[in-house]
Amino acid sequence: MPLTLGFSAPSADDAAVNERLDTLTRERFVERLWAGDATLWTRDPAGQAAVRDGLGWLSAPQVMTAALDDLQRFAAARQAGYRQVLHMGMGGSSLAPLVFARTFPQAGGLGLSVLDTTDPATILAEDRWAAGAPTLFIVASKSGTTAEPLAFGEYFYAKRRDAAGDRAGEDFIAITDAGTPLAKQAEERHYRRVFTNAADVGGRYSALTYFGLVPATLAGVDVARLLDRAVGMAEACGPSSPPARNPGVQLGAIMGELARRGRDKVTFVVSEPVATLGTWLEQLLAESTGKQGTGLLPVADEPLGDAGAYGPDRLFVYIHRRGDTGGPLEDRLRALRSAGHPVVTVEMSDTLDIAQEFFRWEVATATAGAILGINAFDQPNVQESKDNTNRLLDVVRRERRLPEPEPSQTDGALALYADMAEANVAATLARFFGARRPGGYIALLAYLTETPETHRRLTAIRARLRDTTRLASTLGYGPRYLHSTGQYHKGGPSNGLFLLITADEAADAPVPGQPYTFGVFKRAQALGDLEALRRHGQRAMRVHLRGPVDAALDRLENLTAAALAAGGAPAT
C-alpha cells in the first residue's frame, strides 16, 4: 500500500513547498486538524460552525468499519432476489458510486449503474436497463431535497407502482441524513431500508460513508479491504504524523503553495483502470476551494499534450497503478519535468487503493484550503443556479412553456446566443475566444447525452483549444458539473471562457407530478447556469446544436478551428 508521493519541481517551487511544510509544523496544523480547530479555515463564527459540522469524514473509515457487518448482511439478503442496482444521486451522492461502478465493473455482486443526469435519453436507457432484470433502486441525497434524485426517484417509483402497487417501495432504499424529506418519504412509501448517514460529513467528503459504500457493497466490491486501506491512510495522516511525512498534508502543501505561486490548474493524468477517480477529484477540489475569487481548478480527462502546450499555471498529478507505466505517456511526463513543470506522482498498488486515495485527497484538500485562506467545507455559490432553474420552471408551470431568447446568429446546424454577433459564426467565435486572459481557462459545458462518440468529438475540440491558446481546458456534462466544478465557475477567479452547449432532444420523458419533461428540466438548468455565470462577470456563450448531434459537433469543431486560425484578439 504505497503512501509516499513522488514530487519533481524546479528548485524554487520545491523550496517554497518545504518552507510551507515547516510553517505547518510550527503552527501545529496536523494536531489542530484532527482536533477540529475551525480557525484553520475561517475566523467567521458562522463559517466556523460549518467547519465543525463538516469534519466527520476524518473518522469515517473507522465508523464504517464498525458498520461493515450490517452492510454485508444487507447485501447478501438483497442479492438473493435482485440482479442489479440503480443508484440515483448528484454530486457527492453519486460520484463515488460512479467510481466504484467503472473501476470494479465485474465485482461479482449486483450489476451497478449510476444515474446522475436529467438527460432524457440517458433516463430512458436506464429505464430499459432496469426493466430487463429485477432491480433495486437507491435514492441518495444528503439534504433529502436535491431536485434531480427526487425526480429520478419519482420516475422509477411511478414505474414500479404501476407494476407492484402498494409494494413498490420494497424495491427502493434511501441514503440520506436523519429527518430529511427523503427520509420521511421513504418511511411513508415503506422503502426496504433507509441508511442514515452521519450529519457531520459533507457530500463531497462522503465517499467512505454509506453514500459510497452501500452501492459498492451491493455490487460485490470487497468493502472490507477498501476500509482496511482507508484506515491505513487515516493512520498515516493522523495527528502524530508531521507534515513532511504526512501523505495527505504533504500533498495539500504542494497544491496550496504552488497555487499561491500561480500554478493553480491541478491537471490529472490518471491511468485508464482508475480513470474515473479524476471525475471524483474534480468535485472535491473545485467545490472545496473555488471561492472568494481563488481556488484550485481541477483539470481531468484533458488529453496529455506536448510540453509546449502548457502555460506556467499547471501542476501535474500522475496517478497510476503499479505496473501501469511506460510508453508515450511516460515520455511526455519526462518532457514536462524537463520543461520545468512540477509533477506529483501517486502510485497505487491495485484498484482497492482507491479507498486510501479518497482519504488522502480529502486531507490534502482541507490542507490546501487552509493555505489559501478559504473555508473548504462550504459551497456558497452552488444554490444560485438552482434558484435560477426553479424560477424558470415556475414560468413553465404558469405558462406551459420555457422562455428562451431568439438566437443571435445561426449557421446550419448551429445557433449562437452571444452578447454581440459578428459577420458570421466563425467571426463571433473568434471574438469570443479572443477575449481569453493569461492564466485563465476554457470550459465546455455540455448539456448533451454522454456517448463515447460525443465525448470523443468534445475532447477533440478542447484539445484544439488548449493547443492553440495554451489555456487549461475543462469538459463538464450538465447538470453533473453544477454539483462539482459549478462552484469554482462562480466563486473562483473571473478568468474563464464558458462555451455552454445545448441540443435538440431526440426523445423525452415526463417528470411525474410536474407539467414539464426531463428535457425541459435539463434546458432550464442550462439556462439558469448561463444566467449565473454572466451575473458573476464570466464570459459565457451558448451554442445550440440542431438536428443530429455528431454532425453539429463536426460543424462546431470546424468553425472553432477557423476561429482560432483567425487569431481573434490576443490574450489580455
pLDDT digits 0-9 by tens, 34-43: 999 999 999 9
pLDDT computed for residue 572 by the predictor: 36
Residues 6+ apart with CB under 8 A from 15: none
- Label residue 569 by pLDDT band (50, 70, 90): very low
CA 311/CA 290 separation, integer angstroms: 20
Q: At residue 141, does pLDDT exceed 90?
A: yes
Whether residue 523 is predicted with pLDDT greater than 90 in this model: the reply is: yes
Q: Would the pLDDT of 77 be above 80?
A: no
pLDDT at 259 over 90: yes
Read off the pTM: 0.96
Strands 539-545 and 414-417, sheet pairing: antiparallel
User: Vertex 99, ends 266 and 523: CA angle to 5°?
Assistant: 80
Cell of 1: 500500500
DSSP state of 291: B
User: Which residues does 26 contact at the CB level (< 8 Å), separation at least 6?
Assistant: none
b/e map 336-361, b = 16+ CB within 10 Å: bbeeebbbbbbbbeebbbbbbbbbbb
Q: What is the pLDDT of residue 381?
A: 87
CA 51 to each of CA 32, 35, 57, 105, 361: distance values in angstroms, whole numbers, following the listed order: 13, 12, 12, 35, 17
Q: Compute the chain's Rg from CA coordinates.
A: 23
pLDDT at 571 over 60: no
| pLDDT confidence band for 1 (50 / 70 / 90) | low
Give the mean pLDDT of 444-449: 98
How far apart are the C-alpha atoms of 506 and 547, rounded to whole Å? 8
pLDDT of residue 570: 40
**382: nearest Cα among 213, 221, 532:** 532
The C-alpha cell that represents 365 in the structure block: 484538500
76 or 572: which leads in pLDDT:
76
Indicate if the pLDDT at residue 76 is higher than 80: yes
For residue 414, how many other CB atoms are within 10 A of its CB?
A: 21
105-109, 145-149, 305-309, range with the lowest pLDDT: 105-109
pLDDT at 482 over 60: yes
Are 194 and 181 spatial neighbours (Cβ–Cβ below 8 Å)?
A: no
Percent of the chain, pLDDT > 70?
Answer: 99
Cα within 13 Å of Cα(538), Cβ side: 30
Question: What's the rounded mean pLDDT across residues 527-536?
Answer: 96
- On average, the pLDDT of the chain sits at 95
Check: CB of residue 35 under 8 Å from CB of residue 28: no
Cell output for 80: 438473493
C-alpha cell of residue 216: 459498492
**517 DSSP assignment:** B
Burial of 185 (0-12, 13-18, 19+ CB in 10 A): buried
Residue 257, all three cell numbers = 503553495
Task: Evaluate whether 500 touches 458 at the Cβ level (below 8 Å).
Answer: no
